[in-house]
Amino acid sequence: MPSHPSSQDIKVATDAVIFTVRDGKLCVLLIGMKKEPLAGLWAVPGGLIGEEETTKACATRILREQTGIADVYLEQLATFDDPARDPYGRVISVAYFALTPSERVELRTTEKYADVRWWPVAKLPKLAYDHKGIVATALTRLRNRLAYTNIAWSLLPAEFPLSRLQETYEAILGRELDKRNFRKKILETGIVEATGRMTAGGAHRPAELHRFKKRALAYVEMLPG
Amino acid sequence: MPSHPSSQDIKVATDAVIFTVRDGKLCVLLIGMKKEPLAGLWAVPGGLIGEEETTKACATRILREQTGIADVYLEQLATFDDPARDPYGRVISVAYFALTPSERVELRTTEKYADVRWWPVAKLPKLAYDHKGIVATALTRLRNRLAYTNIAWSLLPAEFPLSRLQETYEAILGRELDKRNFRKKILETGIVEATGRMTAGGAHRPAELHRFKKRALAYVEMLPG
DNA sequence: TCAAAAGTGTTCCTGTTACACCCATGA
DNA sequence: TCATGGGTGTAACAGGAACACTTTTGA
């Protein structure tokens, strides 16, 4: 970065695309806009970074402030910098990609916004700014991460039946998987292990609960079929 | 990006990590610093973006101005934002990742810098700023792209013998590949085709020249072994 | 006893790996 | 005629895909 000429009047923001799987559907969290001219539109949580704040810290803060969500998996996604992307002026946005289990989440927002809710990615409302493209980029990243890593841990509670894990894969990949092949493959990779405990309730045979051995990102080839 | 509070004094730059393969070695282009306190260190080409300039346009401009290189493959890599990464103040850098055939390149720089040259990635000099991490990130990206896409087209001239393509893969992956398996796999994927023309010169049998069918990024599974 | 989800193996097929020799040319 | 890189096929193996029935529970 050798040259340091001139001045700039460019602002830096972050936007955080957070996904979960609820009722077998992949969902993304959106905030309902209240103020004109955006009222009626929805947007991913986001805002300007602080003078001494990293973009990642900013994404964490903004998720907490605008949605009540904390302690999620978070990674940098991409930077969006079309000079016309924000009507208020030149704002470049470092977008983040986040995942959370659907259990843990109690949503709340501030009076600045009209609403917060989970939207199935298959039926999104009209989005503000360039957020349609940001969400699409995040979705591609999620599908790739799922195929090459153990990232599903961040979408599941500490213990879960294997059917829940398969449901998660199916929701994200958008296709059905063979139960026997899926279980064989997942157990072969060794990313999960049985806990010995069982699910209770439900008019059917109980399922053995499993856990991820490591709840941190690890690269493992496992495109299940 | 709902909230627009406060003011910021943050500058935005781009850095461009450009690779080529020369003499069977993967190399990265670095600029020799002239001014104190960085004199003697090397850095990836970079600089502040213009008020109405996209980061991609900026990366293109900077490569041309600081190294004389134009018309290269260019994609966004990641954004580096450690508040302490630049001693002059808060500068966040949107890093780009670029590739070029080694043939096409005549290097030249301006009097602001001491030198420009290709460095083998195996033996890099001491780098300024956080550029060591930026180059490492770019290298990982390159290896992944090579495995999942036809990106090698951007490192080769219009026509080339298959041995040159194999050499390119070997330089990037850092391991030797089996000649018969490599040729079979590459030809099966259909990303290259024979031109009918032959190499001339060299005290050995001439090689048939091939070309990439599409000189644009396409996703193709092809980790050759 | 019925409905609903859990759990379990084998066969076939495809794709990956390992491996050695002849060919065409210029010096 | 020799040195150099170009060019080719097959056999063994591993991993992926397809596929159906029994088990356990609560209602």
Q: Show which of residues 9-48 on chain B sit within 8 Å of chain A, judged by CB atoms.
A: 9-13, 15, 31, 33, 43-48
Mean pLDDT of chain B: 93
- B76 touches A: beta carbon within 8 Å: yes
Which of B32-41, B98-107, B169-178, B205-214 is predicted least confidently?
Answer: B98-107
Within 8 A of A131 by CB-CB distance, chain B residues are: 1
Q: How confident is the model at residue A192 (pLDDT cuts 50, 70, 90)?
A: very high
User: Is A69 in contact with A25 (CB distance < 8 Å)?
Assistant: no
> Which nucleotide C1' is nearest A179 CA?
C7
Residue B93 has pLDDT above 90, yes or no: yes
Contact present, B10 and A94 (Cβ < 8 Å): no
Q: List pLDDT tens digits, range A130-142.
A: 999 999 999 999 9
Q: Are A146 and A166 spatial neighbours (Cβ–Cβ below 8 Å)?
A: no
Residue nearest to nucleotide D4 (CA to C1'): B204
Q: Nearest CB to A76: which of B48, B53, B78?
A: B78
At residue B225, the pLDDT reads: 57
Number of C-beta neighbours around residue A27 at 10 A: 21
At residue B143, the pLDDT reads 94
Q: How many A-B residue pairs are in contact by the CB < 8 A criterion?
A: 122
Q: What is the pLDDT of residue B3?
A: 42
State how far the Cα of A81 lies from the Cα of A131, in Å rounded to an integer.
Answer: 12
Residues 6 or more apart whose CB falls under 8 angstroms from that of B102 comprise B20, B21, B22, B27, B118, B155
Report the amino acid identity of residue A156: L
Measured between CA atoms, the residue of chain A closest to residue B42 is A2
> Would you state the pLDDT for residue B108?
78
Chain B nearest-CA distance from A49, in A, is: 8
pLDDT reading at A165 higher than 60? yes
Instruction: Verify cis geometry, omega within 30 degrees of 0, for the bond prior to A37.
Output: yes
Cα B178 to its chain centre, rounded Å, is 25
Is B181 near chain A, with CB under 8 Å?
no
Residues 6+ apart with CB under 8 A from B153: B191, B212, B214, B215, B216
Residues facing residue B198 across a β-bridge: B208
